[in-house]
Amino acid sequence: MRRQASERSGTALSDSFGRTVDYLRISVTDRCNERCLYCMPEGYKGWAQKEDHLTADEIIRSVAAATELGFRKFRITGGEPLIRRDIIEILSGIWELPGVQTLGVSTNATHLGDLAPRIRQAGVRSLNISLDALNPEIYHRITGGRLESVLKGLHKAHEQGFEVIKLNCVLLRGLNECQYLPLIEFAVRHGMPLRFIELMPVSTAGIMDDPRFLSVEEVFQRLSAIGSLSAREDFRLGHGPARYYEFSHERLKSPAMIGFIGAMTTTHFCATCNKLRLTADGKLRPCLGRHGEIDLRGSLRGGGDPLDAFREAVANKPENHEFLQAYEPGRPMTAIGG
């Protein structure tokens, strides 16, 4: 049974730039059963040791500490979070905490065929599902995975009555361009918003010169040329930076809801940033696009006050990411948590 928020769940912190920070994205593992070429560099061997991963209890204690500082929104990610054997324990432990308002999961959907009902029962309201292609060969080339298991998982999740299921597609010139319209049609058929995400230099350097880089603006122009896009400035889904548009096209029975996440080319992208990341090995990361991390694991294991680690991380949030300043990747996305 879920407890109500108590006075212990405090008011939210603001960073040095006046942004309210009340959203924590938690990676529960750096491991993944897929090998997305933009996420995990080929031959990557920098895995965290098992004993360095936060335990289920430590993750739940981290969330409890965060709620005391006014964090209300939580999303579980990885690596692939659903490969963790104790994932249901983690999800229900978080959902039972007073102060937790929303709990979402980001997943590649391959394990949803088995887990979707238990994830829904554990309190999860929203799923973000990565889907870069609907053509099985293209899907395999990008992710190393099998589209069939993804679609099975997606359909199972669809039956479970999650409040929101969003689809995420990373834009990759020369790899999945032919998939955008089929993905939009699929999204409309299933009543799911679809977000197009610009490639970020988290796992490989020099993204702006990378032949695969494709800007959200270019995709926006292409869609405008074949249909009509109208801004839905009023529309917010989840707690992230996507800008939403309704897209109408002769092949669609109803308009698609499309989000654009242009971390590299959208000016003021960071202006509304409201989040911290917690890595699977217990580091708080104030910004995806800057290297500094603050050790929370040490505090959880007896070396200090976890609340101080959260306060320090919020105080260390930079105004903007450094992706455009010759950023050199450190830990890849799979290790930071997407």
What is the binding site for ligand SAM (CB under 6 A)? 32, 38-39, 77-78, 80, 106-108, 130, 168, 170, 197, 199-200, 202-203, 333, 338
Structure tokens at 129: 């599902």
How far, in Å, CA of 234 to CA of 207, rounded?
31
Closest approach of ligand SAM to the CB of residue 302, in Å: 30
3-class DSSP state for residue 223?
A: helix
Closest approach of ligand SAM to the CB of residue 283, in Å: 16
Closest approach of ligand SAM to the CB of residue 203, in Å: 5
Closest approach of ligand SAM to the CB of residue 268, in Å: 19
Closest approach of ligand SAM to the CB of residue 330, in Å: 13
Complex with ligand SAM: residue 15 or 80, whichever CB lies closer: 80
Complex with ligand SAM: residue 39 or 63, whichever CB lies closer: 39
How far, in Å, CA of 263 to CA of 153, rounded?
28
Q: Angle of helix 180-189 relative to helix 216-226, nearest 10 degrees?
A: 70
Alpha helices in the chain, H assignment, sequence order: 56-68, 87-95, 112-121, 136-143, 147-159, 180-189, 216-226, 297-298, 306-315, 333-336
Q: What are phi and psi of 123, to 5 degrees?
A: 115, 0
Complex with ligand SAM: residue 111 or 227, whichever CB lies closer: 111
Closest approach of ligand SAM to the CB of residue 109, in Å: 8
Determine contact, residues 63/100, Cβ cutoff 8 Å.
yes
Complex with ligand SAM: residue 64 or 134, whichever CB lies closer: 134
How far, in Å, CA of 291 to CA of 328, rounded?
9
Complex with ligand SAM: residue 144 or 182, whichever CB lies closer: 144
Residue 130, burial from CB neighbour count under 10 angstroms (0-12, 13-18, 19+): buried
Complex with ligand SAM: residue 39 or 165, whichever CB lies closer: 39
Closest approach of ligand SAM to the CB of residue 235, in Å: 20
Complex with ligand SAM: residue 70 or 329, whichever CB lies closer: 329
CB-based closest residue to ligand SAM: 338
Q: Which of 51, 52, 45, 115 is nearest to 80 (CA)?
A: 115
Determine contact, residues 183/194, Cβ cutoff 8 Å.
yes
